[in-house]
C-alpha cells in the first residue's frame, strides 16, 4: 500500500511519494528449551521482524532519534522468548507485534515471520525420549503475523517444503492441443510435488488452538493428495489436486478463511532400456535435479458461506 509521510517540504520534494519504509532484523535463530522435570520440550525458530515508523527523517535529514536499532529488535525477540515463553509460533508472533506496537507509539506497523525447525521427539520401542529429538521431513511449519496501529492483528499459518508422491491414480488428458503441443496424454503417471500452503484466520483469534489446527491441515493435505490407503483416489490434473487440498482444509477447519496452495511439479520419466535389451514397464524412472521447480501452480480460494457456490476446476 502506498502511504505518505508528514515531513516538512523543506526536506522532501512535493512530487515524491513514499511506497514503503520498512526495516528490521532477519533470520534471528532461537532454540527455546522448556524443562518439565527430566522431560525437555524444544522449539527452534528462525524469526524475521520488520517495522514501519511514522517518519522517514532518518532517510532525508539524518535524524535517527526515532530509529529502533535492528540489534534492539534482535534483543527484544530473545527477551520475549525468555519472559513470555513460546507455546506456538503464532502466539509468539502475536507477542512480538504487540510489543512493538504498544511500546513505541511511532511504530505504525509490525510484521513477524517465523519458521519452526521440524524437530520431533525421538522414540524407542514406543517410549518417548526425555530429551532427544529427530529432524522430521514432514514439512516446515511457518507463520506470519501482521499488526498495524489501531487495527487487529492478522495471522497466517502454513507449511512448506512438504514433498509428496504417488505412483499411480494420476493422469492428464483432454488438454488444449495446437501445433506446438508435443505432450502426450497420460492416464497413469507418477504425481510428485513440493508444496507451499498458507492459510489465513479470521479476525477473532481468541482461543484458537494453533497446534491442533496445523495438525488437521497437515492431515487434510495428505488425505486430499493420497486418498484412502487401500485404493487412493484419481487426480486428473495438478490443478484439481490443488483445489482438492483447499477444499479439504476449508471443510474441516472453519476458523480458516482463505487458503493459498502452491505446487511445484517434480517430473519422473520412464527410462528407455530397449538399447540394453531390457523391457521396462515403468518400474525404472529418472528425474533431473533442475526439474522440481519448472512447473508452478497457484490457487487462492476463500471460505464461502455456501459450499455449493465454490467453483470446481
**Binding-site residues for urate:** 70-71, 172, 189, 239, 265
Task: List beta partners, residue 143.
Answer: 114, 157
Q: Which of 25, 43, 50, 166 is catalytic?
A: 25
Binding annotation for 5-hydroxyisourate: 70-71, 172, 189, 239, 265
Comparing C-alpha atoms, which of 114, 156, 91, 90 is closest to residue 300? 156
Q: Which three cell numbers stand for residue 1?
A: 500500500
Question: Is 72 annotated as catalytic?
Answer: no
Binding-site entries: 70-71, 172, 189, 239, 265
Alpha carbon 195 to its chain centroid, in Å, reads 9
Alpha helices in the chain (DSSP H): 57-60, 70-84, 89-103, 210-226, 238-252
From the candidates 40, 66, 267, 282, give the one annotated as an active-site residue: 267
Could you tell me which residues are annotated as the binding site for O2? 70, 265
CA quadruple 19, 25, 31, 32: dihedral positive or negative?
negative
Q: Which of 70, 167, 247, 271 is catalytic?
A: 70
For this structure, is 160 an active site residue? no
DSSP string for 269-284: EE---GGGT---SSSS
Contacts for 245 with CB less than 8 Å, ≥ 6 apart: 195, 197, 220, 221, 224, 225, 259, 261
Spatial CB neighbours of 54, under 8 Å, sequence gap ≥ 6: 5, 106, 107, 108
- Is 231 in a helix, a strand, or coil? coil
Residue 124 burial class via C-beta count within 10 angstroms: exposed 0-12, middle 13-18, buried 19 and up: exposed
Note if 198 is an active site residue.
no
Residues recognised as catalytic: 25, 70, 267
Amino acid at each position: 500500500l502506498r502511504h505518505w509521510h508528514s515531513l516538512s517540504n523543506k526536506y522532501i520534494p512535493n512530487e515524491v511519494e513514499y511506497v514503503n519504509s520498512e526495516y528490521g532484523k532477519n533470520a534471528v535463530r532461537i532454540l527455546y528449551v522448556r524443562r518439565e522435570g527430566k522431560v525437555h520440550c524444544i522449539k527452534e525458530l528462525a524469526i524475521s521482524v520488520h517495522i514501519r515508523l511514522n517518519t522517514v527523517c532518518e532517510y532525508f535529514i539524518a535524524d535517527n532519534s526515532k530509529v529502533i536499532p535492528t540489534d534492539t529488535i534482535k534483543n527484544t525477540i530473545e527477551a520475549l522468548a525468555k519472559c513470555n515463553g513460546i507455546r506456538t509460533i503464532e502466539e509468539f508472533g502475536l507477542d512480538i507485534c504487540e510489543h512493538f506496537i504498544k511500546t513505541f507509539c511511532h511504530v505504525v506497523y509490525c510484521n513477524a515471520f517465523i519458521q519452526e525447525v521440524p524437530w520431533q521427539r525421538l522414540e524407542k520401542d514406543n517410549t518417548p525420549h526425555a530429551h532427544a529429538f529427530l529432524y522430521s521431513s514432514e514439512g516446515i511449519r511457518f507463520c506470519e503475523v501482521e499488526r498495524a496501529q489501531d487495527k487487529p492483528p492478522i495471522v497466517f499459518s502454513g507449511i512448506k517444503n512438504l514433498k509428496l508422491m504417488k505412483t499411480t491414480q494420476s493422469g492428464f488428458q483432454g488438454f488444449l492441443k495446437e501445433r506446438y503441443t508435443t505432450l502426450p496424454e497420460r492416464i497413469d503417471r507418477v504425481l510428485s510435488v513440493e508444496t507451499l500452503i498458507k492459510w489465513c484466520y479470521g479476525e477473532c483469534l481468541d482461543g484458537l488452538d494453533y497446534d491442533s489446527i496445523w495438525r488437521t491441515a497437515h492431515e487434510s493435505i495428505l488425505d486430499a493428495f493420497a486418498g484412502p490407503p487401500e485404493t487412493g483416489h484419481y487426480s486428473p490434473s495438478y490443478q484439481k489436486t490443488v483445489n482438492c487440498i483447499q477444499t479439504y482444509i476449508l471443510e474441516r477447519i472453519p476458523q480458516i478463511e482463505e487458503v493459498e496452495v502452491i505446487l511445484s511439479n517434480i517430473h519422473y520419466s520412464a527410462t528407455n532400456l530397449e538399447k540394453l535389451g531390457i523391457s521396462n514397464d515403468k518400474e525404472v524412472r529418472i528425474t533431473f535435479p533442475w526439474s522440481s521447480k519448472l512447473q508452478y501452480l497457484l490457487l487462492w480460494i476463500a471460505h464461502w458461506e455456501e459450499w455449493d457456490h465454490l467453483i470446481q476446476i
